[in-house]
């Protein structure tokens, strides 16, 4: 019986593609070099804010799913002993516990901010970028401990999306060299990044002066309970 299924070709008519050593893809008519699709992006490609935002979020996803990122989180929990929630210190994640302790980027800059700042650096210094290189530098910032993070329980982590109800996270709760990052990457901050940093430092100073830095840390009262002999009755 004759097979009437169409044959799948590796090339469309006489159009062929080739990947170069630097990752760029050339598309051309066979035997010529008329068409060129660049893998790298230039600043003009991000003139639309929506395209820039989409690119940054794609880099965020690439970072979060990286094996290096997961290894870094494990390093903080195991080697650095950061297994407890920074807000509710009695909440921790153990093998038998269902509680999740998650790494939060902050309190000043989010992961989105770090990617955005690195992207600006690439535009200033390299002119063209791609998501792989940007993600690699963001991961390297984690390795160098220049990214400020804090461990939070799952419930507290969710509140960070709502600044009005989120607890204030003081610098002593966090891990990472904020000063070192600002010193090295400060020239690539946008006005929004500078304002966020200034606002946080002002809030930190206010809370420090009014003894409110750990206002969200729960206070546990220890009760001295005495039992009468041979009876389970409280005095």
Is 166 a residue whose pLDDT tops 80?
no
- Spatial distance between the Cα atoms of 164 and 150, rounded to a whole number of angstroms: 19
Residue tagged 């008329």 (tokens): 34
Q: Which residue has the higher pLDDT, 15 or 35?
A: 15
Are 172 and 124 in contact by the 8 Å Cβ rule? The answer is: no
- Spatial distance between the Cα atoms of 131 and 129, rounded to a whole number of angstroms: 7
Q: What's the chain's average pLDDT?
A: 76
pLDDT of residue 13: 53
| Closest alpha carbon to 17 in 27, 32, 5 | 27
What average pLDDT does the segment 179-200 reach? Answer: 94
pLDDT of residue 136: 93
Are 15 and 27 in contact by the 8 Å Cβ rule? The answer is: yes
- Spatial distance between the Cα atoms of 217 and 21, rounded to a whole number of angstroms: 54
User: What is the domain partition of the chain in residue ranges?
Assistant: 13-40, 48-209
What average pLDDT does the segment 42-49 reach? Answer: 79
Summary count for the chain: helices (H), strands (E): 7, 4
pLDDT digits (tens, 9 = 90+) for 221-235: 333 434 344 444 444
Task: For residue 109, give both structure tokens.
Answer: 């800059």
Pairing of the two strands 149-153 and 25-29: unpaired
Q: Which residue has the higher pLDDT, 190 or 2?
A: 190
Bridge partner list, 105: 149
Name, in order, each residue with C-beta under 8 angstroms of 144's C-beta and a sequence gap of 6 or more.
Answer: none
- Where would I find the H helices in the chain? 49-64, 67-78, 111-125, 131-143, 154-159, 178-185, 191-209
pLDDT of residue 155: 77
- Spatial distance between the Cα atoms of 173 and 95, rounded to a whole number of angstroms: 24
Confidence band for 35, pLDDT divided at 50, 70 and 90: very low
| Closest alpha carbon to 186 in 131, 87, 113 | 113
- Spatial distance between the Cα atoms of 69 and 61, rounded to a whole number of angstroms: 11
Peptide bond just before 156 cis, omega within 30 deg:
no
Are 146 and 82 in contact by the 8 Å Cβ rule? The answer is: no
CA distances from 99 to 77, 85, 90, 192, 222 (A): 14, 10, 11, 35, 24
What average pLDDT does the segment 75-100 reach? Answer: 77
pTM over 0.85? The answer is no
């Amino acid at each position: 019986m004759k097979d009437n299924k169409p044959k799948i070709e590796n090339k469309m008519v006489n159009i062929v593609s080739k990947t170069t050593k630097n990752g760029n893809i050339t598309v051309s008519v066979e035997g010529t070099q008329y068409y060129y699709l660049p893998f790298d992006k230039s600043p003009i490609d991000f003139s639309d804010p929506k395209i820039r935002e989409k690119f940054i979020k794609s880099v965020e996803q690439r970072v979060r799913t990286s094996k290096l990122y997961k290894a870094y989180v494990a390093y903080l929990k195991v080697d650095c002993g950061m297994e407890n929630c920074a807000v509710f210190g009695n909440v921790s994640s153990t093998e038998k516990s269902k509680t999740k302790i998650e790494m939060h980027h902050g309190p000043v800059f989010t992961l989105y901010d770090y990617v955005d700042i690195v992207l600006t650096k690439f535009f200033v210094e390299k002119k063209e970028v791609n998501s792989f290189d940007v993600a690699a530098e963001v991961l390297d910032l984690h390795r160098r401990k220049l990214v400020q993070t804090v461990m939070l329980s799952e419930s507290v982590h969710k509140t960070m999306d709502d600044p009005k109800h989120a607890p204030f996270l003081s610098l002593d709760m966090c891990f990472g060299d904020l000063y070192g990052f600002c010193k090295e990457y400060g020239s690539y901050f946008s006005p929004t990044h500078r304002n966020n940093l200034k606002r946080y430092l002002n809030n930190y100073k206010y809370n420090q002066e009014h003894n409110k830095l750990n206002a969200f840390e729960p206070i546990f009262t220890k009760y001295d309970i005495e039992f009468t002999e041979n009876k389970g009755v409280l005095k």
